[in-house]
Structure 1
Amino acid sequence: MQSVTLSFFRFNSIPSRLWAFGQMASARFALRAVPDLQTFKLCGSGSGEGFTPIPNTAVYAILATWPDHDAARRAMHGQRVFRRYREVADEALTIFLTPASARGKWAGVEPFEPQDIEVGEPIAALTRATVKPKVALKFWGQVPNISDVVGKDPNVMFKIGIGEVPWVQQVTFSIWPNKRTMAEFARHDGPHARAIKAVRDGQWFKEELYARFRVDAVEGEWEGQTPNLTEVPQTATPNPIEVAAE
């Protein structure tokens, strides 16, 4: 069944950050030649709580789809483009996912192939949108409050805001203990709910994609450890792992 990988790389030094920024253009040529790689997206990240209009020049991400997890691992350990990212980066982390549901398109196509699986716990959520340029200022006026609320939510296990094109093509990715906690956050009356209503009423998005995933495996390290994101924490209010913090 289809494998989706989301890899994060942290670059601490100025030379390594410049290298990573250059890869946003040049790495796509090497990635197109990787066997079994179906689709890929090269993304930067936001600072602060992970989803703000201010970029975080230290963290970059690669989202990719594969025929299965074995094919993904063979490429990531065997292909030079992925090895080079790990060599230059100070930290690297890859999350292996299986899509359970998806609706909408990404750049005009449907990249995820939902499988007939039980998501279980925890659950990962990805939202991708292209913001209409004429309403970009309104949209980003809402985001800081949303980001702050997500960061303070005691249930979110992992979160980051990434994007292909600054300010207009944005992705949010988060991992929650279960469907209930994720749904409660989405429905709660606050900045997030009000922003969603504003988006719907004003038709701010040119394109949207919403997907849910089973979290299958985590490889690598982040902030000096390999985070446990495949099992729900025993505590009722797990501490969120901040991906985009410098």
Structure 2
Amino acid sequence: MMGLARPAMARIEGIGFWKLCGSGTGEGFTPVPNTGVYAILATWPDLVTARKQTVEARIFRRYASHATESWTLFLAPTSSRGEWSGVTPFVPEHGDTHGPVAALTRATLRPSRALRFWRRVPDISAVIGADPNVAFKIGIGEVPLLHQITFSIWPDTESMAAFARADGPHANAIKAVRDGEWFREELYARFRILGDRGTWAGRAPLATLKETP
């Protein structure tokens, strides 16, 4: 269904930029595919349309009928830099930037740098997995090994920034990426969370977020 859904996705009324993605095993941060977990990313003109079409559009109904569980997260971009498939898919909105934040990074790896990138991933995954502030994290991708996306949810921008700045595997990998020009294309975006629907592994991931003062 992921491979054959492209024509149906393109015909959904109101849909903007969209991508169909697979995931890796575990929390997704591995090159070994998980054939049971898939992600659909889409932009919409407003929250009402997003809520309506992710339930009523025919292709989304088909996905729901084949799934044992699904979780839909509704977001509004607060910052974005870079490109995805040659376009800028997210238009940042002005608004409250306090409270929980979602972070998305997407990159196209240069084939000659892919092995070096994947050698660092297990250490980064272990560090982010041990961080008590992370409410949710997953690695997904459009094309195995070469087109990679990381997505995570944090209680606030401060805790997310602290993880990014901390000395360790993540910071070292970022430096290596910059020094070695590992990426052919990259995008970084942050979002505020508008709401969600459904569950992940039988629970509501947003319920684990700590309230900020």
- Same fold per superposition (TM over 0.5): yes
Aligned to 1:233: 210
Q: CA deviation at 1:234?
A: 5.3
Equivalent of residue 137 in structure 1, options 111, 115, 127: 115
SS in 2 for 1:24: coil
Aligned to 2:21: 43
State the Cα RMSD in Å: 1.4
> Is this contact kept in 2: 1:46–1:53, CA < 8 A?
yes
1:168 matched to 2:153: no
Equivalent of residue 192 in structure 2, options 206, 209, 214: 214
1:189 matched to 2:167: yes
> Is this contact kept in 2: 1:49–1:148, CA < 8 A?
no
The count of aligned residue pairs is 212
SS in 2 for 1:51: coil
Q: TM-score, normalised by structure 1?
A: 0.83
Equivalent of residue 109 in structure 1, options 72, 87, 92: 87
Aligned to 1:89: 67
Aligned to 2:136: 158
Q: Any stretches of 5+ residues in structure 1 without a counterpart?
A: 1-22, 236-246
Distance 1:76 1:66 in 2: 10
Distance 1:226 1:183 in 2: 24
> Is this contact kept in 1: 2:21–2:140, CA < 8 A?
yes
Structure 1 outlier segments of 4+, above 3 Å: none
Equivalent of residue 7 in structure 2, options 20, 26, 29: 29
Equivalent of residue 78 in structure 1, options 56, 59, 66: 56
> Is this contact kept in 2: 1:96–1:217, CA < 8 A?
yes
Aligned to 1:6: none
Q: CA deviation at 1:79?
A: 1.0
Aligned to 2:157: 179
Distance 2:79 2:170 in 1: 22
What percentage of residue pairs aligned between the two structures are identical? 58
Q: TM-score, normalised by structure 2?
A: 0.96
